[in-house]
Amino acid sequence: MPMTNHRMIRTLSTLFALAAIAAVAAFLFAAREHDAPAPTKRQPLPKDAARAEMVRLSGLDEHGRPYAFQARLAERLEVDKNSIRLRAPRGEMSLGDDGKLIFSADTGRYMQQQRHLHLRLNVRISQPGAYELEGIDVLMELASRRIRSDHPVRLILSNGEVRAQGMRMDAKRRVWRFKGPVVSQFDIGERASADEAPKRIR
């Protein structure tokens, strides 16, 4: 009988020791869970904007001639899905047998449905070997190949230049119209040939 009591006491002591170890382990585990930082979640991009770098856009005009341009950064807002804001846009537009137009600006906006490209700040549009247009705010109607501005522009030709407060240009008909006051300066010396003179400028 005394031997049985002794064994029972040893068994109970072992159980108490195991229970104590389990309690300490549970406490340490709970402390670690409490001190551990909450897992961080990736923040999604704002739902009202979509951005992309080094974007290239292209299309065809009314006569199937291609145009293409790229931008360092493009951003489209949900409030106006038709419009894409551009940073550092530059590109070219085919003129068929007349070559091409090359254009660039600091910023811009492309209206997809209308196929209008609105260029702003340090705008340069050129037809290599013919002219270069400088301005601060110019709209290019890519589908109809028309260009217009209601802001000061400078047209540089091989034999002179034209400065005006606005302009309209129809690349299909090769017609320029300027808004006054207009100041022009041309070299009409013997070296200026008839081919170098501006044609159909109004």
Task: Look over the chain and give the mean of its residue pLDDT values, rounded to a whole number.
Answer: 77
- Alpha-carbon separation of residue 147 from 101, 123, 151, 165, 192 (angstroms): 11, 12, 12, 14, 27
Q: What is the pLDDT of residue 127?
A: 93
**184 - beta bridge partners?**
162
Whole-number Å distance between alpha carbons of 64 and 35? 66
Question: What's at 75, amino acid-wise?
Answer: E
119-132 core/surface letters (b: 16 or more CB in 10 A; e: else): bbeebbbbbeeebb
- Which residues have a Cβ under 8 Å from the Cβ of 77 and sit 6 or more positions away? 48, 49, 83, 85
Q: What is the pLDDT of residue 96?
A: 86
Give 53-70 pLDDT, tens digit per residue: 898 999 999 989 999 999
Joined tokens for residue 148: 């217009």
Ramachandran angles phi, psi of 59, nearest 5°: -175, -170
In the chain, where does DSSP find H-type helix? 2-35
Q: What is the pLDDT of residue 178?
A: 95
- On the question of pLDDT at 154 being above 70, the answer is yes
Give 6-38 pLDDT, tens digit per residue: 544 444 454 444 444 444 444 444 444 444 334
